[in-house]
Amino acid sequence: MRHEDPIVGRGSALSSTQPPAPPAGYGLTPQRKGGRHSSNGRAGDTQMIRLPTITPDPLDPGTVAPAPAGAGAVQRRSGLFRANPKERAQQQSLERNRLSVQIQSPRRIAVVGLKGGVGKTTLSVLMAGIYSQVRGDPVLLLDGDPTFGSLLLRSGVAPTHSARDLAGRGDPGDLAILAPYLAQSANGTWVLPSGLDPGESARFDEATFVATMDVVHRHFPITVIDCGAGLGGGLMRQLLGAVHTLVFATSPSVDGITATYAGLNWIAERGFGALVANSFVAVTAVRRRGSPVDLAAATQRFEGLCRGLLSVPDDPHLRAGARIDQSELRDQTRDAMTQLAAAVLEAAQGA
C-alpha cells in the first residue's frame, strides 16, 4: 500500500516578498501513514531482499564467485563487473530497465555517514546524475549539510539562491516558476544548497528543511539529499522521518565498518527500524588489492539489518576532489554506481 506523503505544499506564491507564518505542526517530524517506516517509534513491516555485493577479492582476482539469489543477482568477476563485453552490455541493459521504472509519487533518498570524507557527497552527486541522465525526469539534489560541505564544488554549479530563499514561500505550482531559484548541473540535475556561505548553511535546520520541502518536493520524482556528518540532532531526525531509504556511506576500514553497523542499529532503536531494513551500506574508494577489511565477512554481518552492503571502487577521478564528470569515471566505477542507483531506487519505490 502506498502511503500518503507527509510533505504537502502550503503558503503563498514564490513572488511573495515575505514568507508566511509557519503552519501548524511546522518543524515536527513528519508521520508516515501506511508506509515502510515511521517516526513515531513504531517500525513498519519489511521484507528483506539480498542483493549482489560488489566486492573485490584480493586473494584471487580472476575467480568468478557465484552471485547470491535474489532480484537482479548476476555473476561478477571480483565483484566489479569484470565480465566479457556481451555480458556487461546485458547487465547494463538490465540496470537501465530497473532505473526506468515509473514513479507514482515523489521518492526521497538520503545519503548519510558518521563523519566527513567517506564519500557522502560523491555518492549523492553520482546517483542524482544517473537518475537525471537515464530517466530524463527532473531530479533534485538537495544539500542537507549545515556545515557548508563540498556539494557545490562536486556538482559544478554556482547557485544564486539557497534553501532559505525558498523556505515557507509555498508551492508555486509549476517547475518553470521554481527553476530560477535552483541551479542546474551539466547532466541536468537540479541543485539546491543549504546556504551560499558557511554562515547561511549553519542556519539550515529542521524547520528550514520542512518548509523547503513543502515548496519543492512534488516537482521532482526523485530527491537525493546529501546529509551532513553524524546522526544526532533535530535536523537528522527530520530527515530520517521524511525519506524512503538511506545510503550509509563508509570508508573501507575496520573502524568505519564497525561504526556503520553501530550507527544503523542506533537509528533502528530510535523508531526507524523499517527504514534501516530498507537501506544500504556503501563502502567507498575500495581498492582492488590490499583492502584492510574483509568485505565478504562484513557483508554477512549486515545481513538481516539492511538490504545489503555494496562497494564502489577507488577511482582517480573521484579521488581528485574536484567537479565530478561521469564520463571520466572508470568502467568499473560507473557500473558499480549504476547498480547502486538502481537498487536504491527499487528500495525507495517499495517503501
pLDDT at position 82 is 55
Q: 342 and 95 in contact (C-beta within 8 Å)?
A: yes
**Model's pTM, two decimal places?**
0.79
pLDDT band at 88 (very low <50, low <70, confident <90, very high): confident
pLDDT at position 243 is 98
- Nearest-angstrom CA–CA distance, 280 and 205: 25
Q: Is 141 exposed, middle or buried (0-12, 13-18, 19+ CB in 10 A)?
A: buried
Can you give the residue ranges of every domain in the chain?
107-350
Dihedral sign for Cα atoms in the order 282, 288, 291, 297:
positive
Better pLDDT: 162 or 170:
162
Helix (H, G, I), strand (E, B) or coil at 111: strand
- Nearest-angstrom CA–CA distance, 92 and 111: 24
Question: In CATH, which superfamily holds the domain spanning 107-350?
Answer: P-loop containing nucleotide triphosphate hydrolases (3.40.50.300)
pLDDT band at 80 (very low <50, low <70, confident <90, very high): very low
- Which residues have CB under 8 Å from 67's CB, separation 6+? 52, 73, 74, 75, 76
Please determine, for residue 31, whether its predicted confidence score (pLDDT) is greater than 70. no
Percentage of residues in the chain with pLDDT exceeding 70? 76
Please determine, for residue 141, whether its predicted confidence score (pLDDT) is greater than 60. yes
- Nearest-angstrom CA–CA distance, 317 and 331: 12
User: Which of 48-57, 111-120, 135-144 comes out lowest in average pLDDT?
Assistant: 48-57
Bridge partner residues of 113 (DSSP): 229
